[in-house]
Amino acid sequence: KLVSREYKEENSVVQVGPVKIGGQGLVVVAGPCAVESKDQLVTAARAVCKSGATVLRGGAYKPRTSPYSFQGLEEEGLRLLAEAAEETGLATVTEVIDEESLSMAVNYVDMIQIGARNMQNFRLLQLAGKVNKPVLLKRGLSATVEEWLMAAEYIIASGNENVILCERGIRTFENSTRNTLDLSAVALAKTLTHLPVIVDPSHATGKRELVGPMSRAALASGADGLIVEVHPDPQMALCDGPQSLDPVAFDSLMAGLRPLASAVGRV
Ligand code: PEP
Ligand code: MN
């Protein structure tokens, strides 16, 4: 298989705008769950940039559990991401949910995200294999490591080898956290595949006070990077406020990661 270590022994390095993911360094992707307004996004972008993140996240098409929840600003959200990137120099990533949002997003962002809920949307995976942008592939809510890797295989087999895997927690019997962060899957995936693997401690836990400890644990488990939700005012967030860090908390998270990153040889 194209994803396997047998097929390719050395680690793949995926270029996201000016940022390389999967090499030596630890890459931190950060930003709000959803793009809500120009002011919200620019404030978040400036803050995460100042603290050392290099990729800005922000959802413009939100796959919400309830049809009555905020669904995203769509193309206006993509425009705001491009503006924030222009101002800060950050690379950008946004989730796509179908063919239409995919063909729209490629005009505005540096990387396409396929969310947990679409990990086995095989048609969408094939379409993502035809675009000229790297793909961040989240692990499905109840996907095995094998299913996750086969989803990546779909994208690569369709022509796009620039895939980054993201562990974001899986559904288990435990309901005191939003999901169960499966760090053994991170260490295991690093042995099975040459693709970069990053961790999303925000969706994995659903609780902002657990984002720091799980970020450090992810780094120790061999993750190539993190994707963290940061909102200028989490209390007011339209989506995922309880798991979002404010800029001050994000800054201290980043400061705490630096010595740990050099201890594990990621500088
Ligand atoms: C997200 O990153 O905003 C998101 C919806 O994540 P997931 O697909 O992992 O639930
Ligand atoms: Mn979210």
Q: Which residue, among 240, 215, 266, 217, has the nearest Cα to 115 in the 3D structure?
A: 240
pLDDT for the residue 9: 97
d(CA 165, CA 21): 11
The pLDDT value recorded for residue 55 is 98
Location of structure tokens 């929840």: 69
Residues paired with residue 199 on neighbouring β-strands, in sequence order: 167, 226
Position 91 in a domain: yes
Tell me if 194 CB under 6 Å of ligand 1: no
The verdict on residue 214 lying in a domain is: yes
Measure the CA angle with vertex 111, ends 107 and 112; round to 5°.
85
Number of domains in the chain: 1
Distance from the alpha carbon of residue 42 to the mean position of ligand 2, in angstroms: 18
Cα(88)–Cα(73) distance, rounded to whole angstroms? Answer: 21
Residue 56 lies in a domain: yes
Report the CATH number that the domain containing residue 194 is assigned in CATH. Answer: 3.20.20.70
> Is 188 inside any structural domain?
yes
CA distance 124 to 85: 26
Residues 20 and 223 sit within 8 Å (Cβ to Cβ): no
Is position 223 within any domain? yes
User: pLDDT under 70 in the chain at which residues?
Assistant: none
Tell me how far the alpha carbon of residue 240 lies from the centroid of ligand 2, in angstroms.
5
Domain assignment present for residue 30? The answer is: yes
The Cα 4–Cα 153 span in angstroms is 9
- Whether residue 66 lies inside any domain: the answer is no
The two tokens of residue 50 are: 């100042």
Contact 194, 3 (CB under 8 A): yes
- At how many degrees (to 10) do helices 183-192 and 208-220 cross? 30
Q: Could you tell me the residue range of the domain that residue 247 belongs to?
A: 14-61+71-258
What is the DSSP secondary structure assignment for residue 210, as one 8-state letter?
Answer: H
Cα–Cα distance measured from residue 249 to residue 202, given in angstroms and rounded to the nearest whole number: 13
pTM of the model: 0.98
Structure tokens at 59: 């959802």
Separation between Cα atoms, residue 48 and residue 248, nearest integer Å: 10
Is there a domain that residue 267 lies in? no
Choose the residue to mutate in 111, 138, 142 for probing ligand 1, maximizing ligand atoms within 8 Å of C-beta: 138
Distance from Cα 159 to the centre of ligand 1, integer Å: 24
| Predicted local distance difference test score (pLDDT) of residue 235 | 98
User: What per-residue confidence (pLDDT) applies to 267?
Assistant: 82
